[in-house]
Amino acid sequence: MLTALITGITGQDGLYLAELLIKKGYRVIGAVRYQGSPVRLAPVLLDNIELVDWDMMDQDRMVAVLKEYHPTEIYNLAGYSSGARMYDDPIAMQEVNGLAITRMLDAILQVDINMRFCQASSREIFGEADESPQNELTKAGPRSPYGWAKLYADSNICTYRQKYDIYACSAILYNHESPYRGLEFVTRKITYEAAKIRLGLAEELYLGNLDTSRDWGYAGDYVRAMWLMMQREHASDYIVATGKTHSVRELCEVAFSHLGLSYRDFVRVDASVYRPSEPILLVGDATKAKNELGWAPTITFNEMIKMMVDADIDRLKKL
C-alpha cells in the first residue's frame, strides 16, 4: 500500500488531497502540530487518516516520523498563509515557509532518498512579474515575506534535486478556493456575507478595490495536479493555474445573483482597505502541466463560487 504524509492536512488543500488519496487507496498520515488539538476533518476522513505530531521547526521529530511511517510520498501544505497579516511576523514566516522545507528535504536524505516530496509553492514568488502570463521560466521577483519564503523553499528544492537526485518538486499554485476556504480570504468573505444578507442576517458588505483581478481556480483541481506531479518518472516544477482572471466585481456578481440579489444594492467600497490594481497581471500559464501531466481544471469560476455560496447558506441555516 502506498503511504502519503500530508502536512497542513487540516487546511483547505489538505482536506481535498486527503480525500483524493484515500479514494486512490493510499494510507494517509496527517501531520498536525498536536494530536489533541481540534481537527477540522469530516468523520469519513478522520476514520481513514492516522494523525501524528509534527513540528516544522524540529528536524529530529521529522526524521523520527519518516522512520516510523516511511511514506512513499510527502506533501508539504503547511505554513503561514498570504494575506494582510503576512507582515506580522516575517521571521516566523521565513522559518516555517522557507527554512522548514530544507529541514524536510534533509530529513528525507537521512531516512530514505527514494521518498518523493511535493511542495505547495505560490504565485507570490513572481510578485512584480516582468511578463504576463507567467510560466515556469518567468523571472521570480517576490515583494512580500511570504513570497520570499516560498522562493527560498523552491530554490532549495531545485538544489537538492540537482545535487542529490532526490524526487522533489514545487507546485506553483495560483489562487485556489473552495467551501473550505477561510473567512479571511476575499472569496469566502464575499460568499459568506452574501449568504448572510440573503438570510436577513446582514445588510451590507464592505470591500476594497472591486476591479482587482485574480487567477482563481478550484482547490480540488489543484491538489489533483500535485498528485499527478508525483507520478512522473522525473521530478519537475509546474505552474498550476486556470489562465483566466476574474475581478472582485465579477465575483460579487456571481455570488449575489446566484441568490437572486444584485450586489450593487449591498456592496460598499471601503476606502481604508482600497488597494490599486497590480501593474502586471498575475495569471498563470499551465501549458506545461497540460502537456506533461494531462491536467486541466474541471470546475469553472462560476461553478466554484456558486458551490461556495450554497455551502455557506447550508452552514448558516444549521446555525
Annotated active-site positions, please? 122, 124, 146
Quick one: cell of 142? 517576490
Residue 106, helix vs strand vs coil:
helix
Query: Which is nearest to 303 in space by CA: 242, 243, 258?
Result: 258
Torsion over CA of 180, 181, 183 and 186, rounded to 10 degrees?
A: -150
Contact 194, 265 (CB under 8 A): no
Query: DSSP alpha helices (H): ranges in the chain?
Result: 12-23, 43-46, 59-69, 90-94, 100-111, 145-164, 186-198, 219-230, 248-258, 287-293, 301-318
Distance of alpha carbon 257 from alpha carbon 50, whole angstroms:
42
Read off φ and ψ for residue 177, nearest 5 degrees: -130, 175
Quick one: cell of 183? 473567512
Distance of alpha carbon 34 from alpha carbon 58, whole angstroms:
13
